[in-house]
Amino acid sequence: MSNKEDFNWENFETKGFGEGYSKDQREQMAAMYEGTLNEITEKEVIKGTVVGVNEKDVIINIGFKSDGLVPISEFRDLESIKPGDEVEVFIEEQENALGQLILSRKKAKIVKAWQDIESAFENDSVIEGLVKRRTKGGLIVDIYGVEAFLPGSQIDVKPIRDFDIYVGKKMEVKVVKINHANDNVVVSHKVLIEKDLEKQKAEILNNLEKGQVLEGVIKNMTNFGVFIDLGGVDGLLHITDISWGRINHPEEVLELDQKVQIVVLDFDEDKKRISLGMKQLTAHPWDSLASNLEVGSRVQGKIVNVADYGAFLELAPGVEGLIHVSEMSWSQHLRNPADFVKVGDEIEAVVLTLDKDDRKMSLGIKQLTEDPWTKGDMSTKYSVGTKHKGVVRNLTNFGLFLELEEGIDGLVHVSDLSWTKKIKHPSEFVKVGDELEVAVLELDVDNRRLALGHKQLEENPWDTFETVFPIGSDHKCTVVSKNDKGAVLELPYGLEGFATSKNLEKADGSQVEVGESLDFKVMEFSKDDKRIVLSHTAIFREDVKPAPAPKKPAKKKEDAADNSPAEKSTLGDLDALAELKEKMEGGKK
């Protein structure tokens, strides 16, 4: 018993790990343990070894005091993952609330990708990316798992119209801009092409000469021409140098991205502006015209342009003739060419002039019909005295031109418009476009002149007026207008008379005013000059006397016997005068 009582179990009990060691021993053992662990820093990328794989996670040892877990979903890009594989991971947290080391392979890839992108940017190196999709203004390219923007202007040296053809394809690019604030990366494929084109461009410019035939690709089209890529060098093919024929827009004969053969026409000293030609590669169509084409030949063509002065008829691409407006109709009154033809019309014409050396041709279409002045019935159809209707085409100070038919015009002098009215300008009587009835006064076929008259459709009423307004007779007249010389009076039957200023004095000494209707005495009458001079003063003053009537030539005895009845009949024929008045007033209306 005494031995048992002497044994103390407390000497062997431990209250914690390492309490059986001295302080020095514990420090030595901790140092040895810590020496087997890596010193790690959060938010950095480090290599680790896979030590286990389950359905949810991949267990990775990075040499830390505990292993880390990474979701297996972050390894989908690998065909398989197994223990022993080395992978790069990102340390998110050394120890979370559960004491677990938190790692991420996804973030490790992103960090690594940005490091590679920055390295490529600094070193100006070429990297390969995959075009994922199209976006507004360009393409999205995957480089190292980061989405970069490739602007449309940086895809190629030539304009790209269809971005979709690049989607899903690999493309070499260079990083041209990095925006760390927005995590944006801009890349370019164009810079790679430009470097290759520099050598090609220099070679083309060094060997460039006029007349050189080159092959190019249509890069851009405008309404004035086409820009052609000659291999890093652009040249302009003007619209007038595309075809010998007339075209309104290059798209009528060419297409974008089309390969074409062109010839160098000209360039400036620095070779920055290069003029190209396409039609010059073929013979001029004027050189292949039919040998039997001559003045008087009839030709077929299409109207390609209509101007104010005429129209251009295209006989073949590059061969055009001008149809002047004066050669479109036998009419002497020029009209707008659009009244006869329009663009696209296919018509026949006659060659009027032909100059193959200067490549000029004038044509006519009126020559397809007979000249109306040369028709056989011209002399009888428009003989003196025949009556016709025509359209007023032009007014002048001395008269008007009347078109009786296409190509037949006549002049109506202003004095031949009315027997009774004094017409100063034909616009007082008619206007352009009015229809007017006339009688032929004179015909000169050789000189193509036709004199017409309107008043000649009626008998000359002045033969009758001579007996109605004899000198010394009194008539009620209305003052129409006044001037310094006198006044114009309106007489019966629509006639006009004139009274001098001194003959406008009234009995009370005042002057007759415009609008007053008073008695006037005929002082002078001239049938030939169609002039009647009157006086109101002579009505009440005996010292104002009419001029003596002109002496009439003596009549033969045989005519004297018939004089009295005829005169009586004329003076008394008031019904005839009334009818004449109605006709003149009706014509005035």
Alpha helices (H) along 513-573: 557-560, 563-572
The residues with which 456 forms a beta bridge, in sequence order, are: none
Number of folded domains in the chain?
A: 6
CA 445/CA 362 separation, integer angstroms: 27
How do residues 508-567 score in pLDDT, each as one tens digit?
A: 989 999 999 999 999 999 887 888 999 999 998 888 777 665 555 554 444 443 443 333
Q: Are 311 and 340 contained in the same domain?
A: yes
How sure is the predictor about 21, in pLDDT bands with cuts at 50, 70 and 90? Answer: low
Share of the chain above pLDDT 70, in %: 83
What value does the mean pLDDT take over residues 130-139? 89
The tokens for 182 are: 């927005």
How do residues 266-284 score in pLDDT, each as one tens digit?
A: 887 666 788 999 988 888 8
The residues with which 52 forms a beta bridge, in sequence order, are: 59
Alpha helices (H) along 147-266: 190-207
Block residue for tokens 């008031």? 574
Q: Are 265 and 316 contained in the same domain?
A: no
**492 belongs to a structural domain:** yes
Of 5-14, 163-172, 434-443, minimum mean pLDDT range: 5-14
Residue 461 vs residue 438, higher pLDDT: 438
State the average pLDDT for the chain.
Answer: 80
pLDDT at 571 over 50: no
Q: Are 169 and 136 contained in the same domain?
A: yes
Block residue for tokens 């101007």? 307
**19 belongs to a structural domain:** no
Of 368-372, 393-397, 433-437, minimum mean pLDDT range: 368-372
Of 438-442, 494-498, 501-505, minimum mean pLDDT range: 494-498
Q: Mention every residue, 6+ apart, whose C-beta is less than 8 A from residue 245.
A: 314, 316, 317, 318
DSSP secondary structure letters along 310-324: EEEEEEETTEEEEEE
Q: Which residue range(s) make up the domain with 168?
A: 124-194
For residue 445, the one-letter residue type is V
**Last residue in a domain, options 511, 535, 559:** 535
CA 342/CA 565 separation, integer angstroms: 70
Q: Residue 299 in contact with residue 351, Cβ under 8 Å?
A: yes
pLDDT at 224 over 70: yes
**432 belongs to a structural domain:** yes
pLDDT, residue 93, reads 67
pTM over 0.85: no
Q: Are 440 and 385 contained in the same domain?
A: yes
Q: Are 291 and 362 contained in the same domain?
A: yes
Q: Are 389 and 442 contained in the same domain?
A: yes
Is the sign of the CA dihedral 339, 342, 345, 351 positive or negative?
positive
Q: Are 277 and 212 contained in the same domain?
A: yes
**CATH number of the domain bearing residue 95:** 2.40.50.140
pLDDT at 96 over 80: no
Q: Are 275 and 291 contained in the same domain?
A: no
DSSP secondary structure letters along 113-149: HHHHHHHHHHHT--EEEEEEEEETTEEEEEETTEEEE
pLDDT, residue 165, reads 87
How sure is the predictor about 26, in pLDDT bands with cuts at 50, 70 and 90? Answer: low
Share of the chain above pLDDT 90, in %: 26
**323 belongs to a structural domain:** yes
What value does the mean pLDDT take over residues 231-242? 87
How sure is the predictor about 303, in pLDDT bands with cuts at 50, 70 and 90? Answer: very high
**9 belongs to a structural domain:** no
What value does the mean pLDDT take over residues 473-488? 92
Q: Are 276 and 301 contained in the same domain?
A: no
Q: Are 222 and 236 contained in the same domain?
A: yes
How sure is the predictor about 310, in pLDDT bands with cuts at 50, 70 and 90? Answer: very high
pLDDT at 577 over 60: no
Query: What's the farthest any 2 CA atoms get from each other in the chain?
Result: 214
**409 belongs to a structural domain:** yes
Q: Are 225 and 266 contained in the same domain?
A: yes
Block residue for tokens 């070679």? 203
Q: Are 64 and 88 contained in the same domain?
A: yes
What value does the mean pLDDT take over residues 392-406? 90
Of 101-105, 299-303, 536-540, minimum mean pLDDT range: 101-105
How do residues 30-85 score in pLDDT, each as one tens digit?
A: 555 444 444 555 557 778 888 888 888 888 887 776 777 888 877 777 777 888 88
How do residues 439-478 score in pLDDT, each as one tens digit?
A: 999 999 888 899 999 988 887 778 788 888 999 999 999 9
pLDDT, residue 37, reads 43
pLDDT, residue 551, reads 56
**Last residue in a domain, options 82, 108, 134:** 108
**139 belongs to a structural domain:** yes
**11 belongs to a structural domain:** no
**Last residue in a domain, options 83, 108, 133:** 108
| Burial group, residue 270, by CB count within 10 angstroms (0-12, 13-18, 19+) | exposed
How sure is the predictor about 24, in pLDDT bands with cuts at 50, 70 and 90? Answer: low
